[in-house]
A and B are shown apart, each in its own frame.
Chain A
Amino acid sequence: MSKYWVITKEVYKKNVKSFGFIAMVLSPLIVMLFIGGLIYYFSREDVNQEPVQIALISEEAGLSDVFQGGDWNLEVDESITSESEAEDALVNEAIGGYLVIESEEDTLSIDIVHAGELSEYIPMFSELFSNYQTMLRAGTLDLTPDQVMSLSEPVELNERQVSIVEETLTTEDTTDTMVQQFGAYFVSIAIMIFIMTYAGIIAEEVASEKGTRIMEIILSSASVTSHFFGKLTGVMLILLTQLSLYAAVGLGAYFYFRNSDFVQQITQTIDIGALLQELMGFTIIFFIAGVLMYVVLAAFFGSLATKMEDVNKAVTPIVFLALAGFYVGLFAFNVPDHMLNVVFSYIPLFTPFVMPFRIAAGTVSTLGIWLSVVGTIAFALLISVVSLAFYRSNVLIYSDTNIIGTIKRSWSIMKSNKQAKRRRAIN
Chain B
Amino acid sequence: MLEVKGLNKTFGDLTAVDEVSFTIRPGEIMGLIGQNGAGKTTTFRIILDLLTADRGDVLWNGDIITNKVFNTVGYLPEERGLYPKVTIENQILYFAQLRGKKPKDIKPLIDDWLEKFQVKGKKTDKVKTLSKGNQQKVQLICTLIHQPKLIILDEPFSGLDPVNADLLEEGIKEAQANGACIIFSSHNMNNVEDLCDSLIMLRNGKQILHGSVKEIREQFGRTRLFLESDLTKEELLEFNGVTHVETTREGISIVHLRSTEDGKAIFNGATKHGYIPMFSQQPPTLEEIFKQMAGEKNE
Residue ranges of A at the interface with B (Cβ–Cβ < 8 Å)? 1, 3, 6-7, 10, 14, 18, 209, 211-214, 216-223, 396, 412-413, 416-417, 419-421, 423-424
Contact = CB atoms under 8 A, between A and B. Distances in A.
A214 B78 CA distance: 11
B85 A14 contact: yes
Contacts of A7: 98
Nearest to B8: A420
B95 A221 contact: yes
Contact of A417 (B51, B78, B81, B86): B51
A216 B77 contact: yes
22 contacts: A6-B98, A7-B98, A14-B86, A211-B81, A213-B77, A213-B80, A214-B82, A218-B98, A219-B50, A220-B49, A221-B71, A221-B73, A221-B98, A222-B70, A222-B98, A396-B45, A396-B51, A413-B11, A416-B54, A417-B52, A419-B54, A420-B52
A424 B52 contact: yes
Nearest to B45: A396
Nearest to A1: B97
B220 interface: no
Contacts of B83: 14, 214
B77 A420 contact: no
B235 interface: no
Interface string B195-229: 00000000000000000000000000000000000
A220 B54 contact: no
B81 A412 contact: no
For the complex of A and B, 8 pairs with smallest distance between CB atoms? A212-B81, A221-B98, A213-B77, A420-B52, A220-B48, A216-B77, A417-B52, A220-B75
A18 B80 CA distance: 23
- A7, A212, A396, A423 — which one has the most chain B CB atoms within 10 A of its CB? A212
B243 to A, nearest CB: 42
A14 B126 CA distance: 12
B50 A423 contact: no
Contacts of B158: none
A209 B84 CA distance: 11
A212 B50 contact: no
Given A221-B99, A222-B98, A396-B51, A213 B79 contact: yes
B119 interface: no
Contacts of B94: 6, 10
Contacts of B70: 220-222
A308 B97 CA distance: 25
Given A223-B67, A412-B11, A421-B52, 19 more contacts: A3-B98, A6-B97, A6-B98, A14-B86, A213-B77, A213-B80, A213-B81, A216-B48, A219-B48, A220-B75, A221-B70, A396-B50, A396-B51, A412-B12, A416-B11, A416-B12, A420-B52, A420-B53, A420-B54
B149 interface: no
A412 B51 CA distance: 12
B175 to A, nearest CB: 17
Contacts of A217: 75-77, 95, 98, 142-143
Nearest to B94: A10
Nearest to B51: A417
A149 B64 CA distance: 97
Nearest to A222: B98
Interface in B102-151: 142-143
B194 to A, nearest CB: 26
B9 interface: yes
B9 A416 contact: yes
Interface string B36-54: 0000000001001111111
B247 interface: no
A18 B75 contact: no
B152 to A, nearest CB: 8
B10 interface: yes
